[in-house]
Structure 1
Amino acid sequence: MSMHIALVGPIATADIGHLLDGETAHLPVGYYGAPLLVTLIAELLRRGHKVTVVTLSWNMALDWRKPVHAFGHNLEMIYVPMRRRAWQPNGWRLGRIVDLYAFERRGLQYVIEQAAPDVVHAHWSYEFAWAAQQTGLPTLVTCHDSPFVVARMYSRSRLTQSLYRWIRVGMAWYVLRRAPCVSAVSPYLQAEVQALCKHPVTVVPNPLPPSLFDKPGQPDRHPDPHSPLLAMVANGWDRRKNPEPALRAFAALRIRKPGARFSLYGSDFGPGERAEQWARQHGMADGMEFIGRVPYSRLLGELAAADILVHPALEETFGMTLAEAMAMGIPVVGGASSGAVPWVVGEGGVLTDVTSATSIELALLDLLDSPTRYRAAVFAAQARIRTHFTVDQVADAYEAIYCHLSGKMRHQERASVSVVASLDNRG
């Protein structure tokens, strides 16, 4: 049964442009950070659903009554303006966190109500979900992070950044306490957010793009023992991403394997950015290539050449980079106590203490110096992704929830009609 689904969340034009008609250069930039949502959108369209995508963009005139629309086959993309600054005034408007994203929520609510979908799927438990709830339409809220964990990770940051995160904890609490239908992207996150919710939280993982599974597996390959290529993807040089032990581990590894190379991707990891500055200050930059933030398609293409993905994050609620690397047969070195990392990785790599550079180095050597161990990890990585995280499996799970929500709403509407009819008959 085809449905009209409104998917509300952070979506960038650069990621969804291939699904839209014509040129996209004139469109707002959208909201960066979640290419995985486009994977889900494409699959819903393939299944015959009508999809309305609603996102925010900072490079628009600040008038929520003037959204920007773009179209594709069975697809409508709607951009709502977002204030650029969180604390400082935006013209005569307050910073967006000062009024709890009230301006943005009003615009989101307006366009969702105008679209009149059968069901709304809101991603992240903050402004997008709050606006969706304000419409009164049947809504699924999907959690992608733990508000309390994120706030605690930023507790040592500057005051405004820490306060910003704790205010968003309050927003998430307000949303989740009122949400009748909530999903989380891992069992770890399910346990983290369940206490905030009045109803049971369902686990539906993030989807992997089908193109990753088109790449032939290479179970017999083994990295060059003298010049392995490692890769790391991290957006931000902060406590939660925990990059320093990984860079120290690579510097130690390079003493044993002078030809080793380390490709570093993500914000703060570009040429001259914080990661390179730190590495050069500590005399550890040799063999490291600071690439920084790149388009998603380029990232996947270059990541495919890596022998091992190093993932030192202290906490992940899923870890898309982990799953993407594993789908391409790239083993992972990740944290044994890093949230959902052990659940995602399984036997597809080595789990270790990522706060210790020595432990990370030993985990890398465990894979690099044992062809048998490496091949087993390659096989296990691809097998785990194919049995747990394909877009077919994820879309099946979400469709079941959509049908339940829309069916429940139709039942309530029929009940309301019956009550009204009964009252009319009495009159």
Structure 2
Amino acid sequence: MTDPMPRFARIALVSAHPGPLAGPGGPDAGGPHGYVAQLAGCLARRGHDVTVYTRRDRPDRPTLVRNESGVKIVHVPAGPPVPVPRDELLAWMAEFGAYLARLWRLNRPDVVHAHSWMSGVAALTGARDAAVPVVQTYHGLGTVEKRHRGGADTDPPERVDIETRIGREAHRSVATCADELNELTAMGVPRARISVVPCGVDTVHFAPVPLAERPPGAPYRLLAVGRLDRREGLDRALAALAGVPDAELLVAGGPAAPVLYTDPEAERLRKAASEHGVAERFRLLGRVPRSLMPHLMSTADLLLSLPRHEPSAVVAAEAMACGIPVVATAVGGQLDTVVDGVTGTLVPPADDEGYDLAATIRGLLDDPVRRSRYGAAGREHALARFSWDEVTDAISLVYAELVPAVRPQETVRGV
């Protein structure tokens, strides 16, 4: 697709919570930081002038650095130059926004794209006087977090009200799935100002890895990837494993392997595995490096993604990019990502107690032709829908609707 953005557009990405993107170590692999790093790199490679604004979290961070993709990274002095928990960052967003306002009055970007609700607070403050259009991506909404986390929600109590104001003031909101679009419209964000663009997957890195043939009699391998807490549906996977005696379940996620035996959630899951009589077929791998994930996914016969809610469905998309069929709960972004009966199977959420998850898993394991077909279709779907080129095309269309023209002959002043 031809890039719809004018060449040499000046694009500001605001990501208030620092990650490895902010330093010389390279971009974070996952979550909002990974999204910002990938999007920034893709836009810069297309010829745009891209600057990422993130909070300075160490006193030795230089004000401005440029990474290997040509992306400029500005470390904004807002709050103490030390790591601050994400839930405590709101107190420094006015200072962050005032700094952006001073910069952008001198060097106006063509469009600002905020990532996370707190980044939206700073971006709108910074863009107001300079009259810069603002795009907002939330990477998860407070209304959904409160609904599913209840008393465990640690976000500031004003989060939902602030997110609503951001959605009404921003020129465009980008939802990552239809479920998030519906949530935003219920909050009062005008439907005409919401675009749906899924999260991206590095389909070069996440690709099928050729493996040696499985030894005769080896168990089928089920894989789950994510946090170890109850919301991820791992207890449900363990209960289903009891009904699939010729399979093992591996879980990648949680703390690093050396500290798994001191982690309370890991201990809870090991106890649940014993209660279901599957302890010998259950393995906790701990945190697995991103570099090893395509190989691990390629060893699996099925990926199980059974969370109670899932806004992005990145893990399911990564597994599909590796050619692995997915069994996923029909919630959030997984409804948009997994094509039921084509790239995997969507199953009811956990509150449907009459649903036989084990029977669904057994049916797929007993049908290698169907699994092969799902895997091949998943890879094709990931390439067509979730590659970073496709996602950058879609984001560029959003920007282009807000940037009527750019004069490439203008001199771009320094930060």
Return the alpha-carbon distance in structure 2 between the equivalents of residues 236 and 38 of structure 1: 26
SS in 2 for 1:271: helix
2:50 matches 1:77: no
Contact 2:326–2:345 under 8 Å retained in 1: yes
Query: Does 2:140 correspond to 1:148?
Result: no
Decide whether the 8 Å contact of 1:351 with 1:363 is kept in 2. Answer: no
> What SS does the corresponding residue of 1:315 show, helix, strand or coil?
coil
Taking the TM superposition and a 5 Å limit, the aligned residue runs for 1:15-414 are 16=21, 24=24, 34-56=33-55, 59-61=57-59, 68-72=63-67, 73-80=69-76, 84-85=84-85, 95-97=88-90, 99=91, 101-106=93-98, 116-124=108-116, 126-136=117-127, 137-157=132-152, 161-162=153-154, 164=155, 166-195=157-186, 196-198=188-190, 199-212=192-205, 215=208, 226-235=218-227, 237-239=229-231, 241-253=232-244, 256-257=245-246, 260-267=248-255, 271-272=260-261, 273-282=263-272, 283=274, 284-336=278-330, 338-346=331-339, 347-355=342-350, 359-407=356-404
Are the aligned partners of 1:28 and 1:79 in contact in 2 as well (CA < 8 Å)?
Answer: no
Q: Aligned AA for 2:253?
A: Y
- Structure 1 residues without counterparts, runs of 5 or longer: 88-94, 411-427
Please name the residue that 2:4 is paired with: none
Higher RCO by CA contacts (8 Å cutoff, separation 6 or greater): 2
Instruction: Give CA-to-partner distance per residue, 1:194-244, whole Å, 9 cap, x none.
Output: 2331343111111221414664799xx9997741222211235143x2332
The whole-number CA distance in structure 2 between the counterparts of 1:223 and 1:263 is 22
Letter in 2 for 1:41: A
Deviation for aligned residue 1:368: 0.8
Counterparts of 1:349 and 1:180, CA distance in 2: 36
Deviation at 1:278, TM superposition (A): 0.8
TM, length-normalised to structure 2: 0.79
SS at match of 1:135: helix
In structure 2, distance between residues paired with 1:10 and 1:363: 42
Identity of aligned residues (%): 25
Q: Displacement, 1:326?
A: 0.3
Separation (CA, whole Å) in 1 of partners of 2:228 and 2:73? 29
TM-score, length-scaled by structure 1? 0.77
In the aligned structure 2, how far is the partner of 1:224 from the partner of 1:358? 31
Residues 1:8 and 2:14 aligned together: yes
Shift of 1:148: 0.8
**Unmatched runs of 5 consecutive residues or more in structure 2:** 1-6, 408-415
Q: Indicate if the aligned counterparts of 2:133 and 2:170 stay in contact, CA closer than 8 A.
A: no
Deviation string for 1:121-161 (max 9, x for gaps)?
A: 1122x11112111122221112322321111112132xxx4
Task: Give distance in 2, aligned partners of 1:165 and 1:238.
Answer: 22
